[in-house]
Amino acid sequence: MLYTTVTQLIGQTPVVSIEVPDRDASLVLKMEKNNPGGSMKDRMARNMVAAALHEGRLAPGGIVVESSSGNTGTGLALAALEFGLRFIAVVDHHAAPDKVRMMRALGAEIRCIEGDFAEDEVAVVERQRVAAQLAAQLPGAMFMNQSDNPANPEAYAGLVEELFAQIPSGIDAYVGCVGTGGSITGIAQRLKRYNPMVRTIGVEPAGSIIFGKPGHPYYQSGTGTPAGDEVGKVLDYSCIDEAVQATDAQAFETARYIARRKGLLVGGSTGGAIYKALEFIFAGKLTGKVVTTVVDGGEKYLSTIFDDEWMAKRRLLDPAIGSQLDDWLFGKPYAM
């Protein structure tokens, strides 16, 4: 097959299985980092733009405006190129620097929110306000508003079809990060429609307010909903059986662990989902094929969570987490 546009490279991502010893379970990683923009959000970005064009809310030559920590923005930059649109990404200091560089490299215009924010504070409320205002002021512009856009969860239909084909023995559980809630809603609803016995676990960062816990700042980028912001209208709580929080240390130490033990560079939010999936398996609460998405790759975080100094400065290094993972995955301390 010869492709002619970059967005034709979206989807058909491979799966990698990590066997869990002494448990009747394996962790299946859907490698969404293999999408052309490096994250699962390529699927929904393209779908939102295509839907807006189809419904006449956006016309060729128009302007896409979105508040993004980087992954949605990168997907939108690709979609804008394909459909001949301008794209303005509204970001804050919380966005991983390499993600912002990537959006700029793909032709996005970047507007960074100014303000007196703590380093681990997400300025998402201000980001949303500025994006909506910009779109209202610029002729032919549209604020994509991924948190409230039904084309966000709908974009994951293809991912679920791929999983059914890739895991013919059946899927027993899905453990997914929750930010806008678009991916877990789109994936969990479809999995349950096919088999109501599928267990679904939503993972938010500790400090996020989606599941009713008090908010505080956190470093995990792109996921969760910080205090002061509204939970996405796309999120369907009813398709999530259990909700848990991953600390920054659990998320980042797990991402670092999976890189050095399995050779897979996964992003921070994925680290949190993997840690929680294993915790559920070892608590005897999940068995069989437990799927999680590798939302994005560690390549986007080399100067942050994969940098020892960055981690140490923020007191996020915790060797006990690596030992716990060794115990879970190898039944003992890892030996070379």
Ligand X SMILES: Cc1ncc(COP(=O)(O)O)c(C=O)c1O
* Amino acid identity, position 297: G
**Least gap, CB of 8 to ligand X (angstroms):** 22
Q: Calculate the alpha carbon distances from 176 to 116, 125, 185, 189, 322 in Å.
A: 32, 24, 10, 13, 21
Residue 200 is inside which H or E element, if any? strand 199-205
Asked if 245 is part of the footprint of ligand X (rule: CB under 6 A), the reply reads no
Asked if 72 is part of the footprint of ligand X (rule: CB under 6 A), the reply reads yes
The structure tokens 């998405």 sit at 293
**136 CB-near residues (< 8 Å, 6+ apart):** 143
**Least gap, CB of 322 to ligand X (angstroms):** 21
Strands 199-205 and 173-177: parallel
Taking the least distance from each CB to ligand X, the nearer of 148 and 326 is 148
8 A C-beta contact, residue 177 and residue 99: no
Taking the least distance from each CB to ligand X, the nearer of 71 and 145 is 71
Please give the residues from 21 up to 50 whose contact with ligand X meets the rule CB under 6 A: 39, 41
Q: Which stretch binds ligand X (CB under 6 A): 12-20, 180-188, 252-260, 278-286?
A: 180-188
Asked if 181 is part of the footprint of ligand X (rule: CB under 6 A), the reply reads yes
Taking the least distance from each CB to ligand X, the nearer of 72 and 189 is 72
**260 CB-near residues (< 8 Å, 6+ apart):** none
Quick one: which of 13, 67, 74, 223 contacts ligand X (CB under 6 A)? 223
Please give the residues from 188 up to 207 whose contact with ligand X meets the rule CB under 6 A: none
Please give the residues from 246 up to 275 whose contact with ligand X meets the rule CB under 6 A: 267, 269
Asked if 276 is part of the footprint of ligand X (rule: CB under 6 A), the reply reads no
Diameter over CA atoms, the chain = 61
Sites of contact with ligand X (CB under 6 A): 39, 41, 71-72, 177-184, 222-223, 267, 269, 295-296
